[in-house]
Amino acid sequence: MGLIDKGRTPKPLTWLLNYSRKYSLWMFQWGLACCAIEMGAALASPRYDMMRLGVIPFPASPRQADLVVISGTVTDKMAPAIRRLYEQMPDPKYVISMGSCANCGGPYWDSYSVTKGVDQIIPVDIYVPGCPPRPEALLQAIVMLQAQIQNEGIGNDQLQKRWRGEPVVIDDPHTAPVVLGPKPEPTAVPVV
């Protein structure tokens, strides 16, 4: 335990812990509008079985979840509830913004009561574009998030920076550098 506290974890142990974390994601669904129908199709349909990816989609509360999917129009009145939900989740926690309304306000961006993207409230890891996005796009976002989790460090250096909201760059020789935390450019899932 002394090595983990100092941020110097052996690579095989880091790989094993990240492998187990990426295939045991407890997902909390926060469906606000029409994108929630597509999210429900990805969760409940036998065609898009999310359980095969290691995602358990039915935690009873945010205190048991480590991934939240925000889908639909985020209004200014709903923003404090989303922030409270995010703060109740245990660390490490991940956020997927699904749909153009959650990403940037969508067709309602000019409304006085619509938040111009959920990233103004909480840090977002993956953005899923579309109005509404297909269930396959959500599955691809989960796979991209799992790749980020696999390359994440588990010592104090990387995770505590991420929890404080600082950007963390992860270099893996097999993939492009991944930036976790607040990003200057969002990671978008290609439209399928």
Provide the residue-wise pLDDT of the chain in tens; the chain has 192 residues. 555 555 566 777 778 887 878 888 888 888 788 878 888 777 777 777 777 787 877 777 888 888 888 888 888 888 898 888 888 888 788 899 988 888 888 888 788 888 888 888 888 888 988 888 888 888 888 888 888 888 877 654 555 566 556 665 555 544 444 444 444 455 566 665
pLDDT, residue 180, reads 47
Question: Quick one: 138 exposed, middle or buried, by C-beta within 10 A (0-12, 13-18, 19+)?
Answer: buried
pLDDT, residue 103, reads 86
CA 104, CA 49: separation in Å to the nearest integer?
A: 28
pLDDT, residue 55, reads 82
CA 11, CA 58: separation in Å to the nearest integer?
A: 32
Are the C-beta atoms of residues 48 and 136 closer than 8 Å to each other?
A: yes
User: Which residues make beta-bridge pairs with 31?
Assistant: 71
CB atoms within 10 A of CB 119: 21
Are the C-beta atoms of residues 28 and 65 closer than 8 Å to each other?
A: yes
Whose tokens are 């950007």? That residue is 167
CA 19, CA 130: separation in Å to the nearest integer?
A: 30
Q: Give me 33's structure tokens.
A: 């509008």
pLDDT, residue 155, reads 56
